[in-house]
Amino acid sequence: MRYITKFFWLFVGVLFIFSGMIKINDPVGTAIKLEEYFEVFAHDISPLFLSLVPAALFLSIFLSAAEIVLGVALLIRWKLKEVLWLLLAMIVFFTFLTFYSAYFNKVTDCGCFGDAIKLTPWESFTKDIVLLVMIIWLLIFCRHLQPLVQAKVGAIVTALTALISVGIGWYAYEHLPYVDFRAYKIGNNIPTLMKPSAPLRYKYVMVKDGQEQEFEEYPMEEGYTFKEMVAVNPEDGPKITDFNVWNDEGDFTQEILAGNKLLVIVHSVDKANRSNIDKINKLVQAAEQQGIAAVVITSSGRQEFEAFRHEVGLAAPYYFGDGTVLKTMMRSNPGTMLLQNGTVKGMWHHNDTPEVSELVGLL
């Protein structure tokens, strides 16, 4: 019992810290995932969930920091029973989210480990069930876990962990993620990631006499009813499937991915931060003089963006893109990204808008 309890104690503590660190590394991405859950629940359960959408960023940092703090408190065994009850409440909440998502097929990626580790809804639910069992076990057998530090030391360590965690999250929000796990990270070539890395292979799921059978080739025998076709090697499929840029004249995706381009990404003008627009305007003008074509991509409508660009003096041709894709590409609104023949050479939060010399150096 003692060894099992200690293993569960170590496993749960480390996993909560790891999960919290991954999410607080990218608080904007975590907030986007929370908004997705709130919108689903607002549609299926109650419109009241929409009132939580404005608080998504706060909840993103708070919940991520809470995971880290509780994980650290568990590892040093400070106020063990209270910490275990809080962990139990948190995992029950997460288990409900993942079960609802999996059973009703609502949110295809739970975001449990951000963009670092993708889990299907059922995999996420299974993970939460395992953690739920472990935490209940720890509550029952916590007598095998004696405190590792004095109460005052534990309080100080826990408080410092909370301050540092919140600070890490807020800094990442004011700049960009410390470690980028997205497909659009610096060094990646977007055109390459839009293609499969190997030919996709499929299996056919057929039904005969009420029984499901799988085939590598479509069966020619009579009596089989087609159910679905499933990719055998989905990991070889395109990592980017929805990057598309257009305007009223047509599709301009390939033009954007050719040559040297400075992309100014504005998710939506109603939420765009205007504090550093002057720096971006200067960068756009200087980039044009260096032969770097500057273009704006936004998900806002034409009338909205026209009003915005005249308000802030953003003098660059603009195109449209999907809002979700733009949020995936850039965690800042607005933000800038430098492309060289589709390869991401650099990206900057509007708080860190670079000088043109940095762009030239990267090219």
Q: Which of 74, 95, 91, 93 is nearest to 83 (CA)?
A: 74
The predicted pLDDT at position 149 comes to 85
User: Helix (H) and strand (E) counts for the chain?
Assistant: 12, 10
Q: pLDDT for 180-189, tens place per residue?
A: 999 999 999 9
Domains present along the chain, CATH in parentheses? 1-174 (no CATH), 202-236 (no CATH), 245-362 (3.40.30.10)
The predicted pLDDT at position 100 comes to 81
What is the average pLDDT value for the chain, to the nearest integer? 91
How far is the C-alpha of 171 from the C-alpha of 232, rounded, in Å? Answer: 41
The predicted pLDDT at position 346 comes to 96
How large is the average pLDDT for residues 132-136?
95
> Which one has a higher pLDDT value, 338 or 101?
338
Output the CA torsion 298→301→307→311 (10° steps).
-20
The predicted pLDDT at position 99 comes to 86
Distances (CA, A) of 331 to 210, 230, 266, 313: 48, 33, 10, 23
Out of 175-184, 224-233, 345-354, pick the least confident. 224-233
Q: Encoding tokens for residue 198?
A: 């190997």
How far is the C-alpha of 86 from the C-alpha of 139, rounded, in Å? Answer: 11
Res 39 pLDDT > 90: no
SS3 176: coil
Res 342 pLDDT > 90: yes
Q: Burial, 152: exposed, middle or buried (Cβ in 10 Å; 0-12, 13-18, 19+)?
A: exposed
Res 143 pLDDT > 90: no
Residues 179-208 as b/e (b if ≥16 CB within 10 A, e otherwise) read: ebbbbbeeebebeebbeeeeeeebebebee
SS3 66: helix
How far is the C-alpha of 236 from the C-alpha of 241, rounded, in Å? Answer: 13
Out of 216-225, 252-261, 306-315, pick the least confident. 216-225
Residue 57: pLDDT band (50, 70, 90) is very high
The predicted pLDDT at position 196 comes to 87
Q: pLDDT for 62-114, tens place per residue?
A: 999 999 999 999 999 999 999 999 999 999 988 888 888 777 776 666 566 66
Res 135 pLDDT > 90: yes
The predicted pLDDT at position 318 comes to 94
Q: What percent of the chain has pLDDT over 70?
A: 97
Q: Encoding tokens for residue 167?
A: 């600070």
Q: What percent of the chain has pLDDT over 90?
A: 67
The predicted pLDDT at position 96 comes to 86
Q: Are 87 and 135 in contact (CB under 8 A)?
A: yes
Q: pLDDT for 302-321, tens place per residue?
A: 999 999 999 999 989 999 99
Residue 153: pLDDT band (50, 70, 90) is very high
The predicted pLDDT at position 109 comes to 64
